[in-house]
């Protein structure tokens, strides 16, 4: 497994602190419930914070014999300690508008007591506190490296919240949830570190230093109702107010406000002395609030959700690592770089490409060749090399994987003495705009090198396709007159997740070798047009996805039978009432936008399948237009019945066809779009949505055409509408 420094740090930090983070998170979840449960108690009084201290004190004095203290607790509830008419002391939550007792003080529940101790110190006193602070800092670093990894993957700050390409459940939600919770996690961890430092007296002192303001005494008593200072502060600023203990003039009111402490003469109401709360104290108070969520229901909820998210990150992160470890293979060379005639260099981030290179390596060794396998970053001189074969993935936005970043520089510096034949195999995914871009770059670099001559043209492989790799091996064998045999291991399919689907109907293949397959799930399942049906053919177990059209609660697929297509062949031989095992995958980003006023659906070939369902589900009468590109009129016959039906019901407002093989001049769907620029502009301006489904080549041409229209007619690039989520795509 090759791995970038950021991912490595993210992983190492996570592994080394997993146990502590787990304990802190579980206790964190429990503790987040404390402020939430407190906040729902009926002790908060509306607008209490607007009441002046003078008003509140007057009310309490009228109601009770004496007042000892008035304070606010961490939930922002007002507490009064008073003397009753019977001369007894009592302390309770009070309504400062009426003086009414609202209830007894909240006692910390034993579960919260236990969780607090475990969370703060793991019951290990100072050592525990130190460890908690340290691992809190580790979690902070994990969050920072996580942010960096998302930025790298998404391609910068601007694309931080752009659509995430879904490779698997764990990876997808690790990123999606991470984007929303990393900032709260940074706040939780930094405040956690601060609170730990405070406990170890590692911060400047926050002791209050009083400055005398007034020396006069024995002035005339004016009664507290007339105290200017009590009139000028409200309960919002109050932390606590202690009444004088005795009638001695040296015994003051001690008023603690959020930013200062005041000593107030009990007869004159003059402020005798004042101390400002230190910055450390203010930060400490805020750290406490931000770390515990006390007093704020919303923030406590954010903390709760963030803690749950951390548990999910632990699960998904470790699952991804284990999966990658399983995929990875160790390089064990039999020959040194200078003893080998075949040099295989790999650019791989998560190990899949290396697995393919290793299969090729093994096949060459079995055929008694001298082979040397290494990373692209280790490019060097190779004394007797005759062939250089590069297998490389692409990352980021068409960039090199981390173990190939230095290749370009090395290639420019290091010259081979003899002539070497080269071949480049690119591994990538059509889900990314820059398909196999780095392999293209490597191929172009090698073309420019003097001693290198091409053996095979650049070969691109989508989604680690075994079929495509076998095709390349065939080409390799032909070009070198060899007969290498590759044993590709079938991925394991989790059979428990597969469901039974009955074949309701299957049409014959039409002129384009395309057929319709209608299935019914034996068990009731949730799905919509635009979702995907995943098959895992017996032969290679590699997942194939087909876009679903939902027609009368059944699944309608449009499938093109490919000459070497393992899955399409298997499906084309199905008979009515056969059972097929498959799995529905939700594709929420490609559902019919029922919120839109007008929708344009653009497809070519089998890409029409989801739209066949959507147009027949359009019961809200949303104005819908269909553009479809195929080869001939005969190609269209397969879908004509369903389209006619949608028309008759009024679900489809217009339908535009483009045939590429009907007349001398080829007409493609993008050509028809260019003729309908007015409709496109209207739909986009009126917040309508354009949906595209079909081949990547069609998607690129359609996007180009749409961009020309929006730039010339609406004075905006198409990206503006893409960012508004007005363009939905599902192409392959
Ligand atoms: C974050 C990320 C970015 C990717 N960017 C591209 C890309 O720009 N172009 C492409 O063709 N494939 C891209 N891919 C797909 C990978 O190149 C492809 O899955 C490859 O088979 C992974 O090989 P590896 O496991 O050896 O790293 C990307 C994958 C990820 C996870």
Find where tokens 């049409």 sit: 507
For 463, the token pair is 């989604």
Report how far residue 717's alpha carbon sits from residue 706's, in angstroms, rounded to the nearest whole number.
9
Instruction: Write out residues with Cβ below 6 Å of ligand 1.
Output: 153, 348-354, 393-398, 401, 427-429, 432, 434-437, 464
Q: What is the largest CA-CA distance in the chain?
A: 114
Q: Which two tokens stand for residue 179?
A: 């984007």
pLDDT single digits (tens) 247-257? 888 899 999 99
Cα→Cα distances 123→116, 136, 211, 558, 620, Å: 10, 16, 41, 63, 61
pLDDT at 558: 96
What percent of the chain lies above the pLDDT cut of 70? 98
Position with higher pLDDT, 509 vs 492? 509
Average pLDDT for 513-530: 94
Confidence band for 226, pLDDT divided at 50, 70 and 90: confident
Sheet (strand 598-604) strand order: 654-659, 623-630, 598-604, 689-694, 727-731
Centre of ligand 1 to C-alpha 3, Å, is 13
- Residue nearest ligand 1's atom 22 by CA: 393
| Closest atom, ligand 1, to C-alpha of 427 | 21
Q: Which of 171, 395, 435, 458 for mutating ligand 1's site (highest number of atoms within 8 Å of CB)?
A: 395
* pLDDT at residue 131, as a whole number: 93
Residue pair 310/21 in contact (Cβ under 8 Å)? The answer is yes
- The protein residue whose alpha carbon is closest to atom 5 in ligand 1 is 395
For residue range 307-324, what is the model confidence (pLDDT) as tens digits? Answer: 999 999 999 999 998 887
The DSSP string of 395-460 is: BTTTB--GGGTTHHHHHHH---SS-EEEEEEEEE-TTSSSTTHHHHHHHHHHHHSTTEEESS--EE
Q: Determine the distance separating the centroid of ligand 1 and the alpha carbon of 356, expressed in angstroms.
A: 15
Q: What pLDDT was estimated at residue 559? A: 95
- CA separation (Å) from 469 to 329, 414, 466, 700? 18, 30, 5, 25
Pseudo-torsion of CA 40, 45, 51, 53, nearest 10°? -70
Work out which ligand 1 atom sits closest to the CA atom of 167: 31
Tell me how far the alpha carbon of residue 609 lies from the centroid of ligand 1, in angstroms: 28
H or E element in which residue 499 lies: strand 499-506
* Position in ligand 1 atom list of the atom nearest CA 438: 9
Range 458-482 average pLDDT: 91
Q: What is the pLDDT of residue 201?
A: 75
43 touches 77 (CB < 8 A): yes
User: Residue 373 in contact with residue 346, Cβ under 8 Å?
Assistant: yes
Q: What pLDDT is attached to residue 125?
A: 86
Atom of ligand 1 nearest to the CA of 430: 11
**Full DSSP string of 367-396:** TT--EEEEEGGG----TT--EEEEEEE-BT
Within 13 A of 297's CA, how many CA atoms are on the CB side?
6
Q: Are 1 and 324 in contact (CB under 8 A)?
A: yes
pLDDT above 70 for 3: no
- Is 1 a residue whose pLDDT tops 60? no
Residue range 19-33, pLDDT digits in tens = 999 999 999 999 999
Over range 692-696, report the average pLDDT. 90
In a 3-state reduction of DSSP, which class is residue 123?
Answer: coil
Angle, helices 125-154 vs 169-199, to 10°: value is 140
Mean pLDDT, the chain, integer: 91
CA of 419 to the centre of ligand 1 (A): 31
Residue nearest ligand 1's atom 8 by CA: 398
Band of pLDDT at residue 541, cut at 50, 70 and 90 = confident
Judge whether residue 77 has pLDDT over 90. Answer: yes
Q: How far is CA 320 from the centre of its chain?
A: 14
Tens of pLDDT, residues 410-445: 999 999 999 999 999 999 987 777 899 999 999 999
pLDDT tier, 466 (very low <50, low <70, confident <90, very high otherwise) = confident
Residue 216: per-residue pLDDT: 63
Ligand 1 atom nearest residue 327's Cα:
25
Could you identify the atom of ligand 1 that is nearest to the CA of residue 347? 26
CB 47 within 8 A of CB 53: no
Closest atom of ligand 1 to CA, residue 394: 17
Q: Does 696 have pLDDT greater than 90?
A: no
Q: What is the CA radius of gyration of the chain?
A: 35
Residue 163 pLDDT > 90:
no
CA of 324 relative to ligand 1 center, distance in Å: 14
Overall residue count recorded for the chain in this entry: 732
Q: Which of 323, 355, 403, 429 to mutate to test the pocket of ligand 1 (most atoms within 8 A of CB)?
A: 429
The mean per-residue pLDDT over the stretch 142-156 comes to 88
Residue 246: what pLDDT? 87
Considering 427-436, 449-458, 540-549, 557-566, the range whose residues carry the highest mean pLDDT is 449-458
DSSP string for 186-243:
HHHHHHHHHHHHHHTT-S-------EE-----SPPP--GGG-HHHHH-BTTTEEEEEP
Distance CA 130, CA 121 (A): 8
Give me ligand 1 centre to Cα 427, in Å: 7
- Checking 199-207 for CB contacts under 8 A at 24+ apart, the result is 199/129, 200/126, 200/129, 200/130, 200/133, 203/280, 204/278, 204/280, 205/278, 205/280, 206/277, 206/278, 206/280, 206/281, 206/284, 207/278
* Euclidean distance between CA atoms 386 and 381, whole angstroms: 12
d(CA 451, CA 8): 37
Q: What is the distance in A from the centroid of ligand 1 to the CA of 4? A: 14
Q: Which of 279, 277, 275, 276 is nearest to 287 (CA)?
A: 279
pLDDT surpassing 60 at residue 214? yes
Give 331 Cα–ligand 1 centroid separation in angstroms: 21
Determine the average pLDDT of the residues in 191-215: 79
Ligand 1 centroid–CA 188 distance in Å is 33
Helix (H, G, I), strand (E, B) or coil at 691: strand
395 CA distance to ligand 1 centroid (A)? 5
C-alpha 309/C-alpha 444 separation (Å) is 44
Least confident piece of the model among 180-194, 300-314, 318-332: 318-332
Residue 274 has pLDDT above 60, yes or no: yes
pTM value is 0.66
């Amino acid at each position: 497994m090759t791995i970038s420094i950021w991912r490595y740090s993210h992983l190492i930090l996570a592994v080394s602190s997993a146990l502590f983070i787990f304990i802190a998170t579980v206790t964190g979840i429990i503790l987040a419930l404390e402020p939430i449960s407190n906040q729902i108690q009926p002790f908060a009084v509306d607008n209490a914070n607007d009441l002046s201290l003078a008003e509140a004190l007057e009310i309490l004095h009228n109601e009770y014999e004496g007042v000892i203290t008035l304070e606010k607790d961490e939930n922002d509830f007002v507490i009064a300690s008073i003397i009753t008419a019977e001369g007894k002391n009592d302390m309770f939550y009070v309504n400062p508008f009426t003086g009414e007792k609202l209830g007894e003080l909240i006692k910390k529940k034993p579960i919260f007591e236990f969780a607090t101790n475990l969370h703060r110190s793991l019951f290990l006193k100072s050592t525990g506190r130190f460890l908690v602070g340290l691992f809190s800092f580790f979690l902070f670093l994990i969050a920072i490296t996580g942010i960096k990894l998302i930025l790298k993957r998404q391609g910068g700050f601007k694309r931080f919240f752009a659509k995430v390409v879904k490779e698997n459940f764990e990876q997808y939600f690790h990123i999606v949830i991470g984007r929303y919770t990393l900032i709260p996690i940074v706040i939780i961890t930094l405040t956690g570190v601060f609170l730990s430092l405070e406990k170890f007296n590692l911060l400047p002192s926050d002791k209050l230093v009083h400055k005398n303001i007034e020396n006069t005494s024995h002035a005339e008593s004016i009664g507290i109702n007339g105290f200017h200072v009590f009139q000028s502060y409200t309960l919002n600023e109050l932390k606590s107010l202690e009444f004088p203990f005795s009638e001695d003039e040296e015994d003051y009111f001690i008023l603690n406000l959020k930013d200062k402490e005041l000593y107030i003469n009990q007869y004159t109401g003059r402020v005798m002395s004042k101390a400002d709360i230190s910055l450390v104290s203010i930060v400490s108070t805020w750290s406490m609030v931000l770390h515990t969520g006390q007093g704020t229901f919303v923030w406590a909820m954010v903390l709760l959700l963030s803690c749950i998210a951390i548990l999910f990150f632990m699960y998904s992160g470790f699952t991804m690592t284990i999966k990658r470890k399983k995929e990875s293979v160790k390089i064990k060379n039999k020959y040194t770089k200078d003893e080998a005639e075949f040099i295989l260099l790999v650019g791989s981030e998560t190990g899949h490409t290396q697995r393919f290179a290793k299969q090729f390596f093994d096949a060459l060794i079995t055929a008694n060749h001298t082979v040397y396998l290494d990373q692209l970053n280790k490019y060097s001189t190779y004394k007797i090399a005759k062939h250089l074969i590069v297998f490389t993935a692409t990352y980021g936005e068409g960039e090199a994987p981390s173990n190939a970043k230095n290749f370009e520089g090395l290639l420019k510096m290091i010259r081979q003495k003899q002539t070497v034949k080269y071949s480049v195999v690119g591994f990538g995914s059509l889900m990314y705009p820059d398909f196999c871009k780095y392999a293209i770059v490597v191929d172009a670099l090698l073309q420019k090198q003097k001693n290198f001559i091409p053996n095979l043209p650049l070969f691109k492989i989508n989604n680690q396709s075994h079929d495509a790799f076998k095709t390349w091996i065939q080409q390799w064998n032909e070009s070198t007159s060899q007969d290498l045999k590759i044993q590709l291991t079938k991925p394991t399919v989790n059979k428990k997740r597969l469901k039974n689907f009955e074949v309701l109907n299957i049409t014959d293949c039409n002129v384009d070798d395309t057929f319709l397959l209608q299935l019914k799930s034996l068990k009731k399942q949730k799905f919509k047009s635009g979702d995907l049906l995943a098959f895992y053919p017996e032969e290679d177990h590699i997942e194939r996805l087909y876009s679903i059209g939902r027609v009368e609660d059944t699944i309608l697929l449009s499938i093109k039978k490919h000459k070497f297509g393992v899955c399409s062949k298997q499906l084309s031989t199905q008979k009515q009432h056969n059972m097929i095992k498959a799995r529905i995958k939700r594709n929420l980003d490609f559902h019919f936008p029922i919120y839109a006023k007008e929708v344009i659906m653009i497809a070519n070939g089998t890409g029409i399948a989801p739209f066949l369902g959507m147009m027949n589900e359009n019961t809200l009468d949303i104005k819908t237009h269909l553009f479809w590109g195929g080869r001939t009129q005969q190609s269209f016959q397969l879908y004509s019945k369903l389209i006619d039906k949608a028309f008759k019901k009024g679900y489809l407002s217009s339908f535009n066809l483009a045939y590429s093989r009907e007349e001398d001049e080829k007409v493609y769907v993008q050509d028809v779009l260019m003729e309908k620029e007015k409709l496109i502009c209207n739909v986009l301006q009126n917040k309508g949505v354009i949906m595209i489904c079909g081949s990547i080549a069609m998607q690129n041409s359609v996007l180009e055409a749409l961009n020309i229209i929006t730039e010339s007619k609406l004075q905006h690039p198409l990206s503006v509408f893409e960012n508004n989520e007005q363009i939905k795509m599902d192409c392959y």
